[in-house]
Amino acid sequence: MTEPSPELEGLLSNEHAAVRALRETLLAKDLHNARCDLLGYVRKVARSGDLALIIATEKAIVEGDLARYANSKAMTRSLQAALDDIAVVEKHLVAVADKSMYRIIDGAYSRPRSRKNGLPFDEARQVLAGHHARLANMDKSRLDDDEKELVDARKAAMNAAIRRYIALQEQSLGIVQQVSPVPE
């Protein structure tokens, strides 16, 4: 197997040194602090069990990413698709809160392969699972430690959203009496 050239090794070493030096700047420390604050907020929202707030928080983060960081057509399309998906969840939140409306959705997902654990695997659950997968794929990219922590917190928030949505489905269909907050 061919070894990397000394030129490439030098370039990678220079990049590593520059990144380390950049992390020591005041601006990098300010960015770290801002990201820690955001991380704390996302974790607090996930623990709250407030599905609408979890969805609103994720929507705001994706909108911010689209406005500030989308630097290619592919990234713009991906972030816009994520926003379109979040809009689907927002519509389903209205439906799942209305028992008679949600019974119609329940009937539309009557085939066994359209259900998971006896509940409709409706568009909202599909989107939440898909968005979690999108975040898992982000975690594989070249992000710094702060960004990876934030992605992990957003994945945890999506897991909380999925659990909460399932609890709302159960309540709407009369499977349970009361929806309790999502445990930590």
Amino acid sitting at position 149: E
In a domain, 177, yes or no: no
pLDDT at 176: 67
Domains contained in the chain, number: 1
* Mean pLDDT, residues 49-55 taken together: 97
Contact 89, 54 (CB under 8 A): no
Question: What φ, ψ does residue 119 adopt, rounded to 5°?
Answer: -110, 150
Domain that holds residue 140: 6-172
182 confidence band (pLDDT: 50, 70, 90): low
- Mean pLDDT score across all residues of the chain: 93
79-120 tens-digit pLDDT: 999 999 999 999 999 999 999 999 999 999 999 999 999 999
- CB atoms inside a 10 Å sphere around CB 131: 24
Task: Tell me whether residue 181 is in a domain.
Answer: no
Read off the pLDDT of each residue in 115-142 and give the average, rounded to a whole number. Answer: 94
For residue 165, tell me if it sits in a domain.
yes
Is 168 among the domain residues? yes
Would residue 160 count as lying in a domain?
yes
Q: pTM (2 decimals)? A: 0.87
Is residue 92 assigned to a domain?
yes
Give residue 140's pLDDT: 84
Is 1 a member of any domain?
no
Distant-in-sequence, close-in-space partners of 144: CB < 8 Å, separation ≥ 6: none
Q: Quick one: pLDDT at residue 184? A: 53
Is 179 inside any structural domain?
Answer: no
Residue 120, φ and ψ in degrees, nearest 5: -60, 130
